Amino acid sequence: MRRMCATVLVLEFVVIGLAVPVAIQIAGIPPAVAGGVWGGLAALALVLSALQRFRWAYFGGWALQAAFVATGFLVPGLAFLGVLFLVLWAAGVLLGRRTDARDAAEARAEARQERPEAGQV
């Protein structure tokens, strides 16, 4: 789950960073505001991608998705991207959990095969 979610966040970092000039040119948002809002969200995405080893970082990822969707009210064109990354984040979490569970089951099965049973040589 960690790798999948971190990948989504890195891609989101790039897209949110590119949203700054879009907000300035298309929506007419002042550069300082656009840089603060979307620059801050981009920086948060990058930091959270590096912190995916901690459980609380997943909750931070959900909060980031909600914030990105909310910025769609300021720049309507970004609403679609916010929803798209929300879906990608949810898919990363769900598929990552399945992958982690499968990997754990395979590791348990492999450990049982390597360890001889009592009475076997």
pTM for the model: 0.83
Dihedral (CA of 29, 30, 33, 36) sign: positive
C-beta of residue 65 within 8 angstroms of C-beta of residue 81: no
Total H helices, total E strands in the chain: 4, 0
Our count of domains for the chain comes to 1
Residue 118 maps to a domain: no
pLDDT at 118: 60
Domain that includes residue 63, residue range: 2-113
User: Do the beta carbons of residue 69 and residue 40 sit within 8 Å?
Assistant: no
pLDDT of residue 112: 86
Q: Is residue 119 part of a domain?
A: no
- Give the model's pLDDT for residue 86: 97
106, part of any domain: yes
Encoded tokens for 110: 């492999």
How far from each other are the two terminal CA atoms of the chain, in whole angstroms?
A: 38
Q: Is 65 within a domain? A: yes
**Does 120 reside within a domain?**
no
Would you give per-residue pLDDT tens digits along the chain (121 residues)?
A: 888 999 999 999 999 999 999 999 999 999 999 999 999 999 999 999 999 999 999 999 999 999 999 999 999 989 999 999 999 999 999 998 888 888 888 888 888 887 766 656 5
Does residue 90 fall inside a structural domain? yes
**pLDDT number for residue 11:** 97
In a domain, 121, yes or no: no
Q: What pLDDT shows up at residue 121?
A: 56
The pLDDT value recorded for residue 13 is 97
